[in-house]
């Protein structure tokens, strides 16, 4: 597919490209963009908002909108000073031009200044109270400063921060709370890091094969012979997806028949930010083999086929756990055991975190435990993941804190695409909860 020239870009796309070409730290305003690009302020505003969604710019109180470095997902565990300002509800006292810079280390100033300086280096953030000398020393070392307790700093420090373009931030929270908030934010990012998105498996720079609405059966045959594929997206003159055509659509067509009359219109699509698991579910549920990937303007940026999804799902299973979700935490106390017949079971204990306000185990926790047990017994028999279709649960007796439980999953039926699993939870030999699950196997 031919690469588009700038002339074929919409005003919205031209503004996005203009913003992308700006230097890091450049100030951006709706009025300025509208004037430079000769567009309405409404068009400029929408494009700037899209740029903010893409991570190209960041809007901060009292500073305005600034061009920032777009972080790769591989560096998602690193933060910019601007993001720290948001996390701690901070106020920028100086060095606003350095808000886009990335920091890689935190130092809590709870020691003598001389001892503190050994730990501070360029690219770090000193979290400290109203100690002006410490603020100056940190800035001179190339570090930013976060002042806790809502304190201000001297004019000398603010001037130095502006000169060095290193932010000095004030937050009303105490040091412990600030450190906890930042740590929580990084932890959440680590969880997001392990979630594989469509953009992670799209091949960058790979040739994209697509047909036009006026392409004929002969064009399809030629493209199929060249690529070895039989399914192709169909796009208009703006490269916007309008359909998908497969070999089944071509049965009985004449050589000069255009694909416009043969294709499936309004096909299902995903964005680069869609999770691979969601894309896999869509392909399995709808029984489709080709899934176009489109941007916010519905312009095609790539395609996924079933083999791409299967490889990605296999890769996900090998990824290390960088951050624990609630499901991980709930399941972490369960131990895998075998009964005398070799049947898989799980033993564990009800912890205080699993209970509700009455002191009995939460129904949501029991549902999670039964779901996880079902996933694991299916994975033992058939490699792959489950996408839940339906679940009927029965809570027969309440469970108290420190109760020892046994989870007994049983496979009723597992086919190539579907699975039915029965899960029972026992305490002291008594059935306390039961579930019947039906799911799709990916």
Model pLDDT, residue 199? 83
Edge-to-edge strands, sheet with 27-28 = 27-28, 64-67, 57-60
Model pLDDT, residue 202? 81
**Measured in Å, how far apart are the chain's first and last C-alpha atoms?**
32
For residue range 215-246, what is the model confidence (pLDDT) as tens digits?
998 899 899 888 888 889 999 988 899 999 98
Model pLDDT, residue 27? 84
Q: Which residue has the tokens 């929270």?
A: 173
- Total-model pTM: 0.49
Model pLDDT, residue 172? 92
**Spatial distance between the Cα atoms of 264 and 242, rounded to a whole number of angstroms:** 9
Mean pLDDT by 10 residues, the chain (442 residues): 51 84 84 87 84 77 70 56 87 91 83 82 89 91 92 93 93 88 73 71 76 90 87 90 89 86 89 84 80 87 83 60 68 87 91 85 92 87 74 92 92 84 94 91 70
**Spatial distance between the Cα atoms of 61 and 364, rounded to a whole number of angstroms:** 40
Model pLDDT, residue 332? 82
């Amino acid at each position: 597919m031919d690469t588009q020239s700038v002339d074929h870009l919409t005003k919205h796309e031209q503004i996005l490209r203009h913003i992308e070409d700006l230097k890091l730290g450049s100030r951006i305003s709706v009025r300025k963009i509208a004037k430079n690009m000769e567009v309405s302020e409404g068009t400029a505003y929408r494009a700037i908002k899209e740029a903010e969604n893409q991570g190209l710019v960041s809007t901060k109180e009292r500073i305005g909108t600034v061009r920032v470095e777009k972080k790769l997902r591989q560096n998602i565990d690193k933060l910019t000073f601007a993001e720290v300002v948001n996390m701690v509800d901070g106020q920028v006292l100086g060095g606003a031009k350095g808000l886009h810079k990335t920091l890689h280390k935190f130092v809590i100033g709870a020691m003598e200044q001389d001892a503190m300086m050994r730990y501070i280096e360029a690219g770090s953030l000193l979290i400290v109270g109203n100690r002006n000398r410490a603020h100056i020393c940190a800035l001179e070392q190339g570090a930013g400063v976060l002042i806790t307790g809502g304190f201000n700093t001297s004019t000398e420090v603010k001037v130095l921060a502006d000169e060095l373009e290193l932010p000095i931030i004030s937050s009303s929270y105490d040091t412990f709370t600030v450190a906890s908030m930042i740590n929580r934010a990084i932890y959440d990012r680590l969880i997001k890091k392990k979630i594989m998105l469509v953009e992670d498996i799209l091949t960058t720079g790979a040739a994209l094969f697509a047909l036009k609405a006026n392409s004929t059966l002969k064009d399809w045959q030629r493209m199929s012979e060249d690529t070895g594929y039989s399914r192709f997206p169909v796009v208009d003159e703006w490269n916007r997806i309008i359909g998908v055509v497969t070999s089944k659509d071509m049965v009985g067509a004449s050589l000069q028949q255009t694909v416009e009359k043969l294709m499936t219109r309004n096909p299902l699509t995903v964005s680069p930010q869609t999770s691979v698991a969601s894309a896999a579910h869509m392909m399995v549920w709808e029984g489709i083999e080709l899934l176009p990937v489109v941007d916010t303007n519905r312009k095609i940026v790539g395609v996924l086929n079933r083999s791409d999804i299967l490889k990605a799902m296999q890769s996900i299973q090998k990824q290390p756990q960088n951050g624990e979700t609630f499901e991980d935490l709930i399941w972490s106390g369960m131990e895998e055991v075998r009964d005398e017949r070799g049947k898989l079971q799980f033993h564990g204990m009800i912890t205080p975190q699993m209970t509700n306000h009455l002191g009995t185990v939460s129904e949501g926790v029991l549902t999670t435990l039964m779901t996880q047990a079902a996933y694991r017994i299916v994975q033992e028999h058939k490699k792959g993941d489950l996408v839940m279709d339906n679940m009927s649960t029965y809570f027969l007796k309440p469970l108290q804190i420190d109760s020892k439980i046994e989870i007994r999953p049983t496979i009723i039926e597992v086919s190539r695409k579907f699975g039915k699993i029965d899960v029972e939870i026992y305490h002291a030999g008594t059935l306390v909860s039961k579930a019947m699950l039906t799911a799709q196997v990916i």
